[in-house]
Amino acid sequence: MVEHQLAGRGIRAPRVLQAMATLRRELFVPAHAAASAYEDRPLPIGAGQTISQPFVVARMLAALELTGTERVLEVGTGSGYVAALLAMLAREVFTIERHAQLARTAAEHLARSGFPQVHVRRGDGTLGWPEHAPFDAILVSAGGPRVPPALRSQLAAPGRLVMPVGEDQGSQTLLCQQRLMNGWRERALGSVVFVPLVGAQGWSG
């Protein structure tokens, strides 16, 4: 997976490639999908949601340029796969999931797999997690109509936020917004398809 789908397509970030080569993706998908865990596509994880394609995960993680010292917010815990990768690349991870069952399963799984530095909460991630802000990096794992203002305000300076943004729920552009000491910079990382970000500062349903 790492050699063909990631390095072969231009992902160079060595820490990201190392983490993705180490973490077993099959442990985060339901038993019936385990045989497909390393395929080049998203996979169902229950509640109508999906674990993202490895290449897209790698691009998002690479764009954050984590060094190991950061506190990170993730919106859309899903299976917990990306949260575990973030934990390998940063210091502490706060992750929010809207579906109670997914949040519970991911929290149990992460604790059992040895990731005590990941904190999982059920809730509306479009509002962020103000009690633990500011965050050095924010990764949004679902697609919304715009970057939620609450998340922008909870990003540290310097800091980086990666999120799929699109005018309809069917497709998005992956954006990397960088908060600098004196303003913002934005860069587009290509077209992607994510499940919708549903919440007060996302889609209404």
Catalytic annotation, residues:
52
Angle between helices 54-64 and 81-89 (to 10 degrees): 30
Binding to ligand SAH by residue 56, rule CB under 6 A?
A: no
Site string for ligand SAH, 86-115 (x = CB under 6 A): ----------xxxx--x-------------
Rounded to a whole number of angstroms, the minimum distance from the CB of residue 30 to ligand SAH is 11
Q: How far is the CB of 174 from ligand SAH (least distance, A)?
A: 14
Q: To the nearest whole angstrom, how small is the minimum distance from the Cβ of residue 13 to ligand SAH?
A: 18
Determine how many CB atoms are found less than 10 A away from the CB of residue 157.
13
3-state SS record for 37-53: CCCCCCEEEECCEEECC
Reduced to 3 states, what is the DSSP secondary structure of residue 145?
coil
> Which of 82/93 has CB closer to ligand SAH?
82
Which CB sits closer to ligand SAH, 59 or 99? Answer: 99
Distance, in Å, from the CA atom of 187 to the CA atom of 182, rounded to the nearest integer, reads 17
Half-sphere exposure of 16 (CA within 13 A, CB side): 21
Q: Which residues bind ligand SAH (CB under 6 A)?
A: 45, 49-52, 75-76, 78-79, 81-82, 96-99, 102, 124-126, 141-142, 195, 197-199, 202
